[in-house]
Amino acid sequence: MATEKLAVTRATFDEVILPVYAPAQFVPVKGKGSRIWDQQGKEYIDFSGGIAVTALGHCHPALVEALKTQGETLWHTSNVLTNEPALRLASKLINATFADRVFFANSGAEANEAAFKLARYYASQRHSPYKSKIIAFHNAFHGRTLFTVSVGGQPKYSDGFGPKPADIVHVPFNDLAAVKAVIDDHTCAIVVEPIQGEGGVVPATREFMQGLRQLCDEHDALLVLDEVQSGMGRSGKLFAYEHYGVQPDILTSAKALGGGFPVSAMLTTNEIASVMAPGVHGTTYGGNPLACAVAEAALDIINTPEVLDGVAARRQLFVDALQGLNAQRDLFSDIRGKGLLIGAALKPQYADRARDILNAAAAEGVMVLVAGHGVMRFAPSLVIEPADIAEGMARFAAAVEKVLG
Ligand X SMILES: *Cc1c(COP(=O)(O)O)cnc(C)c1O
Is 97 assigned a ligand-binding role in the annotation?
no
Q: At what angle do helices 289-302 and 61-71 cross, to 10 degrees?
A: 160
Nearest distance from residue 108's CB to ligand X, in Å?
2
| Burial class of residue 103, CB neighbours in 10 A (0-12, 13-18, 19+) | buried
Q: Of 321 and 375, which has the nearer Cβ to ligand X?
A: 375
Name which position in 38, 46, 198, 364 contacts ligand X (CB under 6 A).
198
Please check if 144 is assigned to a binding site.
yes
State phi, psi for 191 to the nearest 5 degrees.
Answer: -115, 125
Active site residue 180: no
Q: Which is nearer to ligand X, 33 or 197 (CB)?
A: 197
Q: Which of 193, 249, 296, 388 binds ligand X (CB under 6 A)?
A: 193
Q: In this structure, are residues 112 and 143 in contact, taking their beta carbons and an 8 Å threshold? A: yes
Which residues in 319-345 are b (16+ Cβ under 10 Å) and which e?
bebbeebeeeeebbbebbbbbbbbbbb
- Indicate the residue among 83 and 112 with the shorter CB distance to ligand X: 112
- Which one of 226, 249, 296, 364 is in contact with ligand X (CB under 6 A)? 226
3-state class percentages of the chain: helix first, strand second, coil last, to nearest 5: 40, 20, 40
- DSSP string covering 158-174: TTTS-SPPSSEEEE-TT
- Cβ of residue 331: shortest distance to ligand X, in angstroms? 25
Site string for ligand X, 1-40 (x = CB under 6 A): ----------------------------------------
C-alpha distances in Å from residue 88, one per residue of 55, 62, 232: 20, 17, 17
The one among 229, 268, 288, 381 contacting ligand X by CB under 6 A: 229
CB-CB contact of 193 with 212 (8 Å): no
DSSP label at residue 6: P
Distances (CA, A) of 341 to 55, 174, 240, 327: 11, 18, 11, 22
Catalytic, 100? Answer no
Binding to ligand X by residue 213, rule CB under 6 A?
no
**Residue numbers 117-156 binding ligand X by CB under 6 A:** 141-143
Catalytic residue among 141, 173, 318, 378: 141
Of 33, 165, 197, 343, which lies in the binding site for ligand X, with binding defined by CB under 6 A?
A: 197
Residues 83 to 112 in contact with ligand X, rule: CB under 6 A: 107-109, 112
Number of residues that bind ligand X (CB under 6 A): 15
Which residue among the candidates 104, 131, 208, 226 is catalytic per the annotation? 226
The answer to the question of whether 228 is labelled as a binding residue is yes
Residue 282: other Cβ atoms inside 10 A: 12
Q: Which is nearer to ligand X, 198 or 296 (CB)?
A: 198
Question: Of 110 and 388, which CB lies nearer to ligand X in the complex structure?
Answer: 110
> Was 103 annotated as part of a binding site?
no
- Note the maximum CA span of the chain: 69
Does 141 carry a binding-site annotation?
yes
Any binding-site annotation on 284? yes
Query: Strands (DSSP E) along 138-269, which ranges?
Result: 168-171, 187-192, 195-196, 202-203, 222-226, 250-253, 264-268
Please say if 249 is a catalytic residue.
no
List residues binding ligand X (CB under 6 A).
Answer: 107-109, 112, 141-143, 193, 197-198, 226, 228-229, 254-255
Catalytic residues: 141, 226, 255
Binding residues for pyridoxal 5'-phosphate: 108-109, 141, 226-229, 284
